[in-house]
């Protein structure tokens, strides 16, 4: 029979508990009975019951209640103070006897429910100071709008439990509530004293609800062991014929090796065994535990006394060992509630000392010389846990992937060898009940010979975990000073002092490794929980915890990365070998650029893993080879194609993709020069791209930045790059198949739609476009502009304007709305003029750049199939949780491209920047990326590495501009001598060189930090380079234009386009001011 045990209603008990408010009334000099009278005044329509039914807010309740109390008592009553008492932690605390009873009831497979008269707090949450996980059903009066003793709320609770009244037992401390339950046919217990109530419940249920042995519970079903066979074995072992039942309980810790309490014939023992089922290699070795505990006991380390090892699996199914049961205290909560600060400090000191004792054991003398390998413990451990993790991996966890790369590169250079416990933490220690003395250290499963610092770091993990963390309660956000608990650093220093060693500098490595190892262990537990082998009920949660732990591990890796970076010797010759790179060696002659300074021979390579590579010569051989291949391709195909591409851009066909670009794309793909942009960190398995680090790509990207056409040829142009990275990082497999694949193949293009004309979009939280849920779809409405994309839609407009006005669905969806009704065929106001009318003086002449700068491709491009759309799903959510991102097909009905925008009169064909309306655009729910409210987070992630690609390319623009400038000033004569001999020009050249070098170093540093410490930690450097690079390029290009004379402004050279682009990037990637503000904010925060 399934029964319901309804925990007594917390609210009724607390509010009507006479002693509570009577005492309060005395303390506050309020006439006795005032509170009770005020509570019942008004009956059903009184403030108290209205509050309980969730009909009035806390503030309204307090106001009304204050008035009533004052009327009743003729004095001012501090009801706020009373309310604080009512909701205080002390009053709200659940009785331990009840908690214990609930555990026992649930362990028997019965259901539990809480039926509470409660209310909403000011934060909108209902007040229920219980762990909701204890109950199968939670029914709250303020949520349901009905209070006990109204029958409806009891019936609701029973309905949710799926029970008849007679199948339930109801506990409450209020007579009227009990009466109502009884009248419905429920069995009832009136709670006057919790202890007595539990006894009564035990009688009704027919089993015990108390655990006599602390931290034990009835044996879990999946962990049962054959009792008869065990009993026979024990009787033989103990040599006892005494009759009496074998008592068997299971300790609720022992995630890995199940541990049991045994009582037989007056003997109290502990049995520890391997878990059942197929196990990972070398795990759960109880034989080793037995051996080390035996050896350590002789060496004076406090461990439980081991009695017997049984390796015969026939007895209980697996090998096991027996030890003496030691009574004492186990502190499960590291904040040590209920103790004095001095006691807490003493407990942590005792813990520290016992660890030192373990590490000081002469393992050779203790007979443990062969207990583990000697040396290279951490490298071996790193490999072991990588292997274990891989063996139990169920999905890709980005932080684990990063750590798997990072840890082997940052191993400690020196290590000491001692016995290590491997799982040393507070709740594996048994303390004396009266003294701060460690009586026993448990759980030696992971012990071996190894680096003792790994134990120290491991025992500090709780400091970084939240108090509610399921497997190991933590101390994060606790006021350690007030508690008297040493910080992790103090604890570590205490250890070093006891051991007489200097503090190690790579402490963060050990912390990262500790969290990584636990993440790998949890993954194993999780995997086993999927196959039903894990021994703890919390095993299933471990899947989620793996991710959490790996993120924490990565935080320490980041810290360590910074430490290493700061300590990099300034004297190391990590120099770029050619500071005065002139530009492409074999660049075909461009009008006005007659000579090029040849490159000096590169110096020998200086490659160092994880180091800041500041010149292409420092790249690793395969990347260097890729760089050379790219350079050759630029020389052989890209620069020679520029005149034709310029001609195309100035022609009437400019809004259609250039066949030459398409041809070059195929060539680049064939040469493996494709999708070079995807950073290794996003694509660790190189599934989608070349797997370059950000620093490596920086060198290649700069090279691509030498020509305006190059990025698209290598499928490395924005905004596709950012969108592809977004899909790799956050897309589902279906989203990837639909959108990522064609983008990676270069068959489709995409755009990113965030900016809106009506709001200041430099602040992304301002955006107003709405995303609404309707009939299983999302419906979008919004007005966007500056949505960068490609040309061909525009060309469709130009070539088939009238067809666009026809009512065909697709044409209608993607038509340009030009103010006038397109359907009438009146194109007089159409904003898509012929090239001639746009640039009347230039006509279709060859060699003109003016039609655009082509670095962005997207919305106007007929190949633009995808719009990554940012809108608001919930304008009432916290500021950064209002936005969501949708993947919108460009042919969805309701998308109207109003007009292409121009930058300094350049229309950026074939890319273009569109102003677009989204009217009632419907997309399926699967179009959402990550989930509602994650838009801001995605936008930040999207702008990760992509954020500095523009900067990398700007260095390329600047180098090219400077190269052109130098060639020009050497070949042109004014006032009787070459321009180069004019002092001002020399100064300009020098200034440009210096500025380029400065900016490049900062770009490379930002990229390097993104590689070694992650995008988040590199935020300052990313913001700095975004501040620096566009302005630097703007000045360098401006000087080049000045040196060129009027020709510099023409379309004959790339300078005008470079210049326009550098200027545009002072907005397009976020305005300068925003980056400046970010830098200043971080500067003030971090460096004072
Ligand atoms: C060529 C080009 C391509 C673009 N491509 C895209 C695209 O593909 N998709 C897309 O969604 N958007 C795109 N944009 C738009 C670009 O992202 C926005 O222009 C930019 O975010 C600024 O927004 P805004 O124009 O609304 O300026 P506003 O937000 O109105 O800001 C105007 C000015 O206010 C000042 N200001 C703003 N914030 C601060 C601050 N914190 N402190 C001090 N002063 C401040 C600055 O001077 C700033 O320039 C593109 C823009 C250009 C020029």
Domain boundaries of the chain, sorted by first residue: 1-211, 216-327, 356-428+449-566, 616-715, 753-793+851-929, 938-1084
Question: In this structure, what token pair is assigned to residue 916?
Answer: 């677009």
Is residue 605 predicted with pLDDT exceeding 70?
A: no
Q: Identify the residue with better confidence: 1084 or 888.
A: 888
Q: What is the mean pLDDT of residues 488-517?
A: 93
1077 in contact with ligand 1, CB cutoff 6 A:
yes
Q: What is the mean pLDDT of residues 944-957?
A: 87
Residue 1064 CA: nearest ligand 1 atom is 53
Nearest residue (by CA) to ligand 1, atom 52, is 1068
Is residue 583 predicted with pLDDT exceeding 80?
A: no
- The CATH class of the 616-715 domain is mainly alpha
Q: Identify the residue with better confidence: 562 or 963.
A: 963
pLDDT of residue 790: 38
Q: What is the mean pLDDT of residues 430-456?
A: 92
Of 227-241, 298-312, 848-862, the one with minimum mean pLDDT is: 848-862
DSSP type of residue 45: G
Q: What is the mean pLDDT of residues 588-601?
A: 31
Confidence class of residue 22 from pLDDT cuts 50, 70 and 90?
confident
pLDDT of residue 1087: 54
DSSP type of residue 635: I
pLDDT of residue 859: 53
864 in contact with ligand 1, CB cutoff 6 A:
no
Peptide bond into 910 cis (omega under 30): yes
Peptide bond into 719 cis (omega under 30): yes
Is residue 770 predicted with pLDDT exceeding 70?
A: yes
pLDDT digit string, tens, across residues 1004-1020: 999 998 888 877 788 89
pLDDT of residue 906: 81
pLDDT of residue 931: 92
- Tell me the CA–centroid distance for residue 252 and ligand 1, in Å: 57
Rounded to whole angstroms, how far apart are CA atoms 268 and 307? 12
Rounded to whole angstroms, how far apart are CA atoms 477 and 466? 7
Residue 754 CA: nearest ligand 1 atom is 11
Q: What average pLDDT is seen over the chain?
A: 82
Is residue 842 predicted with pLDDT exceeding 50?
A: no
Smallest CA-to-CA distance from 555 within 467, 486, 461 is with 461
Is residue 734 predicted with pLDDT exceeding 90?
A: yes
On whether the 356-428+449-566 domain is CATH 3.40.50.620, my answer is: no
Q: What is the mean pLDDT of residues 81-94?
A: 74
Nearest residue (by CA) to ligand 1, atom 42, is 1073
Question: In this structure, what token pair is assigned to residue 960?
Answer: 């090219």
On whether the CB atoms of residues 929 and 887 are closer than 8 A, the answer is yes
Q: Identify the residue with better confidence: 202 or 572.
A: 202
Of 60-74, 96-110, 313-327, 820-834, the one with minimum mean pLDDT is: 820-834
pLDDT digit string, tens, across residues 147-197: 999 999 999 999 999 999 999 999 998 889 999 999 999 999 998 888 888
On whether the CB atoms of residues 871 and 884 are closer than 8 A, the answer is yes
Mutate which of 758, 942, 1071 for ligand 1? The one with the most ligand atoms within 8 Å of its CB, which is 1071
- The CATH class of the 1-211 domain is alpha beta
Q: Identify the residue with better confidence: 101 or 1065.
A: 1065
Rounded to whole angstroms, how far apart are CA atoms 615 and 414? 32
761 in contact with ligand 1, CB cutoff 6 A:
yes
Q: Helix 720-730 to helix 935-942 angle, to the nearest 10 degrees?
A: 120
Largest CA distance in the chain: 121
DSSP type of residue 806: S
- Tell me the CA–centroid distance for residue 761 and ligand 1, in Å: 6
Mutate which of 756, 765, 786 for ligand 1? The one with the most ligand atoms within 8 Å of its CB, which is 786
753-793+851-929: which CATH topology? Butyryl-CoA Dehydrogenase, subunit A; domain 2 (2.40.110)
Q: Identify the residue with better confidence: 89 or 714.
A: 714
Of 73-87, 383-397, 756-770, 1068-1082, the one with minimum mean pLDDT is: 73-87
pLDDT of residue 209: 80
Is residue 568 predicted with pLDDT exceeding 90?
A: no
Q: What is the mean pLDDT of residues 939-954?
A: 78
Q: What are phi and psi of 861, to 5 degrees?
A: -80, 130
Q: What is the mean pLDDT of residues 680-702?
A: 87
Nearest residue (by CA) to ligand 1, atom 30, is 760
Task: Say how far residue 13 (Cα) sits from the centre of its chain.
Answer: 42
pLDDT digit string, tens, across residues 51-72: 999 999 999 999 999 999 999 9
Sign of CA dihedral 172, 173, 177, 178: positive
On whether the CB atoms of residues 493 and 504 are closer than 8 A, the answer is no
760 in contact with ligand 1, CB cutoff 6 A:
yes
786 in contact with ligand 1, CB cutoff 6 A:
yes
694 in contact with ligand 1, CB cutoff 6 A:
no
Q: Identify the residue with better confidence: 474 or 6.
A: 474
DSSP type of residue 437: -
pLDDT of residue 242: 63
Is residue 600 predicted with pLDDT exceeding 50?
A: no
Q: Helix 720-730 to helix 946-971 angle, to the nearest 10 degrees?
A: 160
Nearest residue (by CA) to ligand 1, atom 16, is 1068
Residue 1069 CA: nearest ligand 1 atom is 17
Q: State the CATH architecture for 938-1084.
A: Up-down Bundle (1.20)
The pTM score is: 0.52
1073 in contact with ligand 1, CB cutoff 6 A:
yes
pLDDT of residue 534: 55
Nearest residue (by CA) to ligand 1, atom 13, is 786
1070 in contact with ligand 1, CB cutoff 6 A:
yes
- Tell me the CA–centroid distance for residue 1071 and ligand 1, in Å: 5
pLDDT of residue 687: 85
pLDDT of residue 305: 94
What CA–CA distances, in Å, run from 403 to 196, 410, 491, 729, 1013?
A: 54, 10, 25, 17, 11
Contacts for 611 with CB less than 8 Å, ≥ 6 apart: 568, 572, 574, 618
- Tell me the CA–centroid distance for residue 759 and ligand 1, in Å: 10
946 in contact with ligand 1, CB cutoff 6 A:
no
Smallest CA-to-CA distance from 316 within 219, 239, 243, 216 is with 219
One CATH from 2.40.50.140, 2.140.10.10, 3.30.200.20, 3.20.20.10 for 216-327: 3.30.200.20
Nearest residue (by CA) to ligand 1, atom 36, is 1073
Is residue 814 predicted with pLDDT exceeding 80?
A: no
Is residue 983 predicted with pLDDT exceeding 80?
A: yes
HSE-CB of 858 using CA atoms within 13 angstroms: 32
Residue in this structure with the two tokens 């409450």, named with its chain if needed: 172
pLDDT of residue 279: 60
440, β-bridge pairs:
430
Smallest CA-to-CA distance from 753 within 921, 926, 953 is with 921
Q: Identify the residue with better confidence: 487 or 609.
A: 487
pLDDT of residue 472: 79
Is residue 298 predicted with pLDDT exceeding 70?
A: yes
**CB-based burial label for 918 (10 Å; 0-12, 13-18, 19+):** buried
Question: In this structure, what token pair is assigned to residue 1028?
Answer: 């620096």
Residue 858 CA: nearest ligand 1 atom is 8
Q: Identify the residue with better confidence: 542 or 86.
A: 86
- Tell me the CA–centroid distance for residue 961 and ligand 1, in Å: 26
Nearest residue (by CA) to ligand 1, atom 25, is 761
pLDDT of residue 585: 35
- Tell me the CA–centroid distance for residue 825 and ligand 1, in Å: 35
Confidence class of residue 944 from pLDDT cuts 50, 70 and 90?
low
Mutate which of 726, 750, 757, 761 for ligand 1? The one with the most ligand atoms within 8 Å of its CB, which is 761
913 in contact with ligand 1, CB cutoff 6 A:
yes
């Amino acid at each position: 029979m399934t029964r319901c045990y309804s925990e007594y209603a917390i609210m009724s008990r607390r509010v009507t508990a006479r002693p509570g408010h009577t005492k309060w009334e005395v303390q506050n000099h309020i006439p006795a009975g005032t509170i009770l009278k005020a509570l019942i005044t008004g009956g059903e329509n009184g403030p108290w019951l209205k509050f309980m039914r969730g009909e009035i807010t806390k503030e309204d309740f307090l106001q009304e209640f204050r008035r009533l109390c004052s009327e009743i008592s003729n004095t001012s009553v501090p009801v706020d103070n009373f309310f604080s008492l009512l909701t205080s932690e002390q009053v709200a605390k659940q009785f331990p006897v009840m908690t214990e009873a609930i555990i026992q009831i649930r362990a028997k497979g019965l259901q539990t429910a809480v039926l509470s008269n409660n209310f909403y707090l000011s934060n909108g949450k209902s007040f229920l100071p219980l762990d909701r996980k204890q109950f199968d059903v939670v029914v709250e009066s303020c949520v349901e709008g009905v209070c006990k003793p109204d029958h409806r709320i009891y019936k609701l609770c029973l309905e949710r439990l799926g029970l008849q009244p007679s199948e339930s037992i109801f506990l409450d401390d209020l007579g009227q509530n009990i009466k109502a339950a009884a009248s419905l046919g429920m069995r009832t217990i009136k709670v006057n004293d919790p202890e007595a109530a539990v006894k009564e419940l035990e009688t009704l249920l027919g089993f015990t609800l108390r655990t006599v042995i602390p931290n034990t519970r009835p044996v879990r079903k999946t962990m049962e062991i054959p009792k008869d066979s065990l009993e026979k074995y024990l009787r033989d072992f103990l040599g006892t014929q005494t009759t009496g039942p074998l008592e068997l309980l299971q300790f609720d810790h022992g995630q890995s090796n199940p541990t049991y309490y045994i009582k037989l014939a007056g003997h109290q023992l502990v049995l520890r065994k391997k878990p059942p089922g197929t196990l990972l290699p070398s795990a759960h070795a109880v034989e080793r535990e037995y051996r080390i505990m035996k050896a350590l006991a002789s060496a004076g380390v406090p461990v439980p006394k081991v009695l017997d090892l049984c390796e015969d699996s026939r007895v209980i199914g697996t090998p096991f060992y027996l030890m003496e049961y030691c009574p004492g205290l186990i502190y499960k909560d590291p904040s040590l509630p209920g103790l004095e600060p001095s006691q807490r400090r003493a407990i942590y000191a005792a813990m520290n000392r016992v660890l030192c004792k373990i590490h000081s054991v002469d393992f050779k003398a203790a007979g443990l010389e062969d207990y583990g390998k000697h040396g290279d413990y951490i490298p071996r451990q790193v490999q072991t846990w990588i292997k274990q993790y891989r063996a139990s991996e169920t999905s890709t966890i980005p932080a684990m992937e990063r750590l798997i790369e990072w840890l082997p590169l940052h191993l400690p250079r020196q290590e000491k060898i001692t016995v290590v416990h491997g799982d040393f933490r507070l709740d594996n220690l048994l303390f004396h009940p009266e003294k701060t003395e460690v009586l026993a250290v448990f759980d030696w499963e992971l012990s071996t010979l190894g680096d003792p610092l790994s134990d120290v770091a491991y025992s500090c993990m709780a400091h970084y975990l939240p108090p509610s963390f399921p497997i190991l309660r933590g101390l994060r956000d606790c006021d350690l000073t007030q508690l008297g608990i040493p910080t992790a650093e103090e604890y570590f220093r205490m250890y070093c002092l006891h051991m007489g060693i200097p503090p190690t500098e790579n402490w963060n490595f050990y912390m990262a490794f500790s969290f990584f190892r636990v993440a790998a262990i949890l993954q194993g537990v999780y995997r086993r929980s999927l196959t039903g082998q894990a021994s703890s009920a919390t095993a299933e949660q471990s899947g989620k915890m793996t991710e959490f732990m790996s993120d924490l591990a990565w935080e320490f890796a980041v810290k360590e990365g910074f430490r290493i970076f700061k300590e990099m010797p300034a004297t190391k010759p990590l120099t770029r070998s050619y500071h005065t790179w002139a530009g492409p060696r074999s660049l075909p002659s461009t009008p006005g650029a007659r000579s090029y300074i040849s490159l000096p021979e590169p110096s020998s390579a200086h490659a160092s893993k994880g180091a800041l590579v500041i010149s292409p010569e420092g790249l690793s051989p395969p990347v260097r080879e890729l760089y050379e291949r790219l350079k050759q391709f630029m020389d052989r195909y890209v620069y020679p194609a520029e005149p034709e591409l310029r001609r195309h851009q100035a022609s009437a066909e400019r809004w259609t993709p250039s066949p030459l670009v398409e041809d070059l794309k195929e060539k680049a793909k064939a040469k493996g020069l494709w999708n070079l942009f995807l950073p290794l960190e996003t694509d660790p398995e190189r599934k989608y791209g070349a797997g370059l680090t950000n620093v490596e790509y920086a060198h290649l990207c700069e090279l691509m930045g030498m020509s305006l056409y190059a990025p698209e040829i290598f499928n490395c142009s924005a905004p596709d790059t950012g969108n592809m990275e977004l899909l790799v990082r956050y897309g589902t497999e279906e989203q990837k198949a639909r959108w990522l694949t064609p983008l990676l193949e270069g068959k489709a293009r995409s755009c990113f739609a965030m900016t809106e004309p009506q709001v200041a979009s430099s602040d992304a939280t301002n955006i107003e476009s709405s995303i609404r849920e309707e009939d299983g779809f999302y419906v979008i409405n919004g007005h966007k502009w500056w949505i960068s994309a490609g040309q061909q839609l525009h060309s469709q407009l130009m070539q088939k304007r009238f067809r666009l006005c026809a009512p065909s669905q697709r044409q209608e969806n993607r038509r340009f709305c030009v103010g006038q009704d397109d359907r009438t065929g009146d194109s007089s106001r159409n904003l898509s003029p012929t090239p001639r009318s746009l640039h009347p003086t230039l006509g279709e002449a060859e060699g003109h750049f003016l039609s655009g700068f082509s670095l962005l491709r997207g919305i106007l491009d007929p190949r633009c199939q995808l719009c990554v759309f940012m809108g608001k799903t919930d304008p009432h959510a916290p500021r950064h949780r209002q936005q969501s991102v949708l993947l919108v097909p460009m042919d969805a009905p309701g998308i109207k491209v109003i007009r292409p925008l121009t930058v300094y009169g350049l229309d950026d064909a074939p890319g273009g920047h569109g102003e677009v309306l989204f009217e009632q655009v419907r997309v399926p729910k699967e179009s959402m990326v990550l989930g509602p409210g994650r838009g801001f987070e995605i936008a930040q992630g999207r702008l990760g590495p992509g954020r500095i690609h523009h900067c990398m390319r700007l260095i390329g623009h600047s180098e090219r501009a400077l190269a052109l400038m130098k060639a020009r000033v050497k070949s042109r004569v004014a006032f009787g001598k070459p321009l180069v001999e004019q002092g001002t020009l020399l100064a300009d050249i020098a200034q440009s060189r210096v500025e380029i070098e400065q900016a490049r170093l900062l770009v490379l540093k930002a990229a390097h930090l993104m590689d070694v410490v992650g995008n988040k930690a590199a935020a300052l450097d990313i913001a700095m380079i975004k501040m620096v690079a566009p302005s630097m390029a703007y000045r360098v290009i401006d000087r080049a234009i000045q040196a060129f004379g009027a020709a510099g402004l023409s379309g004959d050279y790339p300078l005008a386009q470079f210049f326009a682009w550098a200027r545009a990037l002072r907005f397009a990637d976020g305005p300068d001011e925003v980056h400046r503000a970010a830098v200043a904010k971080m500067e003030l925060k971090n460096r004072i």
